[in-house]
Structure 1
Amino acid sequence: MLKNIIFYILSIILLASCSSISNTVVEVGEGWANNSINTVIFRKNAITSNSTHQFLAYYDENGKMIIAKRKLNSSNFDLSHSDFTGNTKDAHNAISIALDGNNKLHASWDHHDNPLNYAIGIAALSTQLGDKQNMTGKDENKLSYPQFYNLKNGNLFFLYRSGQSGKGKLVSKLYNIENQQWEDLHDNLIDGEGERNAYWQACVDREGTIHLSWVWRDSWDVATNHDMAYARSKDGGKTWQRSNGQQYNLPITASSAEYAWEIPQKSELINQTSMTADKNGNPYIVTYWTEDHKTNYQIIYLEEGKWKHENTNFRNSSFQLGGGGTKKIPISRPEILLKETQDKPMFYLLFRDAERGNKISMAYNKIGSKKSWNVIDLTKVSVGEWEPNYDLELWKREKKLHVFAQKVYQIDGEGVATVKPTMIRVLEIKNLPLK
């Protein structure tokens, strides 16, 4: 009976909205679902891979960190129960992982203004982590939002906030695969000056340039988010410049930042979304805010040296965004990815929207097109308050889209639901439209 139920659930998850796109669903294991900690978008990364193996991490129902691994193209994940746990009652305390150029797994977990939790795999491709350790020991006492980014040479770039909401700074470190050591890059890359903090998103393009964008928040209240600023680094995070190549004097502050788009407070502007870059190194930032009385996904991008903006305009409703803690919001924060074509690249947004029954959905279009954005559902069932994460390295290498999926429940303001654990799945999405 149970097998029949599972088969039925899996069968209805498969895509039916678009004949060209197809899904394969791979089950991993059951995870904590009483809030969105396993699916928050600022996990960098929830799922990652090299050319042969794929890894993902999540908390189980007891708050224990699970590391899962499979050979790519296999439908079976091996699960490793680590010795580490997290405070799963706070959805900020997510797990971030990465594989370095030596194929060692790095993990950082359980942070919301508390000391660094970090460990590294005991051997190449091992799911077993060594003891918890420091990176450099500097500025590692009050962390939030740890994020790993893979650099072209195999090194890892690491970002986190030091401080707190409304009063914080952005810190960066670098892991060198040759000496297998961390070094401090900037203990204050973006300075909130005690009056604000930067909520960022970043990406690394095909040439190795790090693109960084952020909104400012002036207090604990999400309603005080405003503006979208930008910086880039062409030397692995050592020096930073504006989009025109002009060098920044560090730290970057509210008065010295380049603003890609000015957005006032109380615009329902969200923080911590995503960005990407095309083959020419032009950045594209996706977020959402309210415009013309509707809250829509908005894309800010650089074209021929000039910042531009496109409202996707496929949503029909608005909502008010305010308060603190993890919010229960009608839409998820979006992920953006692109695929080059013979002319302009095709852009894809991954998201979840209550207007569409909280399914995993995708919108796609070419920026600047006169056509409306196409929107399809990739699942037939709700995923609750899920936010998107996908295997960024697999997409970079092979343009294969593997999405981390789990139905989760989020009660507004850091609330905790009382539900049974739900299945972690990987959605392998094939045949993305190019027209």
Structure 2
Amino acid sequence: MKSLHSLLFAIMLLTAACSSAARPSANCETVRPDQSAPAVPIGATWSGVYVDIGSAVSKDGVLVTAFYDAERYLTLATYDPDDGRICRKRLPSRFGGWDAHNTLVVAVDAQNRVHVAGNMHASPLVYAAGPLDDLDAVTLSPMIGRNEDSATYPHFLHDRAGNLMFLYRDGKSGNGLWLLNIWRHGRWERLGPLFSSRDAKGPVSAYPSAFVKDRSGRFHVAIVWRRTPDVATNFALTYASTRDFQQWDVGGKTVTGPLAPAMMEVVDAPGEQQGLVNNAQLALSPSGKPVILFTKYAADGHNAVFAATKSGNDWLLRNIVAGQSRAVVSGGGSMPGLPVFRFADTARRDQTLHVSAVLGQKQSELLLDADRLTVSPWRSQGGSGSGQVRAASPNFPKSLGLAPPSGMDKAAPRSTAVRQNGIDGPVKGQLRWFAQQINQDQPHACKPTAPLACKPPPSPLIWLPADGG
């Protein structure tokens, strides 16, 4: 605890010039990395709830990150490893503190201009941009000025030519239209709507996976569809691919967006009240086949993780991780306790994918055969591994002060991989911090077992470069 207090005190001194919302100018200091880690203290960040922190590394190796500071203001920071200079700027946008939907995203374009968006959940679009080497010039502004009053789920991506694009939902859960903007000639233009807000039965909203680009330049996406704000009304999982985000390949036929559920390939349609969660993940097998992970109730009523892939003209589905209990999929907000799963970034030379999943208190590490959807315990090629292990927290050096202090509510170390350009470049390092778990977007209550839950201490935000420099 002493090391945490010392580190936070040093960080707060460095950021003191940014502590007033009335002073938005950038404050710069020179920092010395912890040579034992090595680690760079970027700032002090809000720890009340886990929310995605935005980050990127420029082509010149400069880190840029967007986070909520100790007082919950949206803050930009840059770190130049060549001279050890770190600059921070607080933007006039303040996080409410508890809604895990208010993620932050960052991208650096080809002209070394930084773009940041976030702190919104069915609320006005928050967006800022400016030159990476002059944070004073990074200011909040509209993107286009239309359909920006009820934005959620910001996401930067690149098209086939490497042009910067921005995807977000306009509307609300159960009634949301997804829109795509493209950065051209120094300004944003509307490319068009991607996913519809209605089908034949009424309002809907799409919950797309991240787009995955194959070797030919085609983008693949899986979508879970919902009818109302209640997660229990998720009713179908669909798939399509595109080269230009306007014309879509659906089962060998070309359709024009925006896509609605009936216009896409149906991967699975369990219907409402069947435990389908809007967190589907998509990856491509080594041979380029789309493979989808998703969760719903199994035949026994327990939560389970399923895999799906194309088999001829149909979709093959298998239950690959069976749960031992039932977490009820119902209600609104970011829900704790639901199955968590992902495709791990582990290069394989065969037709398998590394899948990591957590159901209840059990973590599974599996090799998934992308053709047959059979699973076996994961082992690194040339090494050994275990198929099922207890969920464990990352092993952070104690000197970083990243062990959550006692008195918080289910706080844990957090980390995010930082990519060059913030989108699809190589991983250049990690940001690490601690935060409490999600709580259906509601404040954590202070209680005898967690007296700090409602007023948590800030966490150090630490940069760990992949090359140690």
* TM-based fold match above 0.5: yes
Equivalent pair of 1:385/1:410 in contact (CA under 8 Å): no
Other structure's SS at 2:162 match:
coil
Other structure's SS at 2:196 match:
strand
* 1:113 and 2:128 correspond: no
Greater relative CO, 1 or 2 (CA 8 Å, sep 6+): 1
Equivalent pair of 1:332/1:386 in contact (CA under 8 Å): no
Alignment of 1:83-98 (within 5 A): 83-89=91-97, 90-98=99-107
Counterpart Cα distance in 2 of 1:378 and 1:369: 28
Q: Which residue of 1 aligns with 2:12?
A: none
AA paired with 2:2?
L
Other structure's SS at 1:112 match:
coil
Counterpart Cα distance in 1 of 2:319 and 2:6: 39
Match of 2:239 among 210, 230, 233: 230
Equivalent pair of 1:170/1:187 in contact (CA under 8 Å): yes
Other structure's SS at 2:238 match:
strand
**Against the structure 1 CA distance between its residues 318 and 332, is the aligned structure 2 distance closer, same or farther, given a 3 Å change threshold?**
closer
Counterpart Cα distance in 2 of 1:405 and 1:46: 13
**Against the structure 1 CA distance between its residues 24 and 148, is the aligned structure 2 distance closer, same or farther, given a 3 Å change threshold?**
same
Counterpart Cα distance in 1 of 2:367 and 2:431: 20
AA paired with 2:459?
T
What is the aligned-residue identity percentage?
A: 21
Moved more, 196-205 or 368-377: 368-377
Query: 1:31, CA displacement in angstroms?
Result: 1.5
Match of 1:414 among 442, 446, 469: 442
- The CA RMSD over aligned residues, in Å, is 3.6
Q: Which residue of 1 aligns with 2:207?
A: 199
Match of 2:418 among 387, 391, 401: 391
Q: Which residue of 1 aligns with 2:398?
A: none
Counterpart Cα distance in 2 of 1:390 and 1:305: 36
Which stretches in structure 1 are left out of the alignment for 5+ residues? 8-22, 40-44, 431-435
Query: 1:224, CA displacement in angstroms?
Result: 0.9
What is the CA deviation profile of residues 148-201 of structure 1, one whole-angstrom value per residue up to 9, with x for unaligned ones?
Answer: 11335331222111111111211111123xx12211111353232452211112
* 1:283 and 2:290 correspond: yes
Query: 1:93, CA displacement in angstroms?
Result: 2.2
Structure with higher Rg: it is 2
Give me the TM-score of the superposition, normalised by structure 2: 0.72
Query: 1:220, CA displacement in angstroms?
Result: 1.2
Equivalent pair of 1:115/1:143 in contact (CA under 8 Å): yes
Equivalent pair of 1:143/1:162 in contact (CA under 8 Å): yes
Q: Which residue of 1 aligns with 2:381?
A: none
Counterpart Cα distance in 2 of 1:270 and 1:138: 30
Match of 1:256 among 257, 263, 267: 263
Q: Which residue of 2 aligns with 1:99?
A: 108
Match of 1:30 among 36, 40, 44: 44
* 1:186 and 2:188 correspond: no
Q: Which residue of 2 aligns with 1:2?
A: 2
Which stretches in structure 2 are left out of the alignment for 5+ residues? 8-36, 379-386, 396-402, 405-409, 445-452
**Against the structure 1 CA distance between its residues 426 and 314, is the aligned structure 2 distance closer, same or farther, given a 3 Å change threshold?**
farther
Equivalent residue pairs, number: 397
Q: Which residue of 2 aligns with 1:53?
A: 62
AA paired with 1:342?
R
Give me the TM-score of the superposition, normalised by structure 1: 0.77
Counterpart Cα distance in 1 of 2:281 and 2:85: 27
Alignment of 1:9-408 (within 5 A): 28-36=42-50, 38-39=51-52, 46-51=54-59, 52-70=61-79, 78-89=86-97, 90-121=99-130, 123-124=131-132, 127-128=135-136, 130-176=138-184, 179-187=185-193, 189-193=195-199, 194-207=202-215, 208-235=217-244, 237-242=245-250, 244-278=251-285, 280-291=287-298, 292-302=300-310, 306-313=314-321, 315-327=323-335, 329-331=336-338, 333-349=340-356, 355=361, 363-367=365-369, 368-372=373-377, 374-376=387-389, 377=392, 379=394, 384=411, 389-391=416-418, 397-398=425-426, 402=430, 405-408=433-436
Moved more, 278-287 or 111-120: 278-287
Equivalent pair of 2:47/2:436 in contact (CA under 8 Å): yes
Equivalent pair of 1:333/1:388 in contact (CA under 8 Å): no
**Against the structure 1 CA distance between its residues 403 and 299, is the aligned structure 2 distance closer, same or farther, given a 3 Å change threshold?**
farther
Counterpart Cα distance in 2 of 1:107 and 1:410: 23
Q: Which has the higher strand share?
A: 2
Equivalent pair of 1:99/1:105 in contact (CA under 8 Å): yes
What is the CA deviation profile of residues 260-291 of structure 1, one whole-angstrom value per residue up to 9, with x for unaligned ones?
Answer: 22233223222145333345443233332222
**Against the structure 1 CA distance between its residues 4 and 109, is the aligned structure 2 distance closer, same or farther, given a 3 Å change threshold?**
closer
Other structure's SS at 1:407 match:
strand
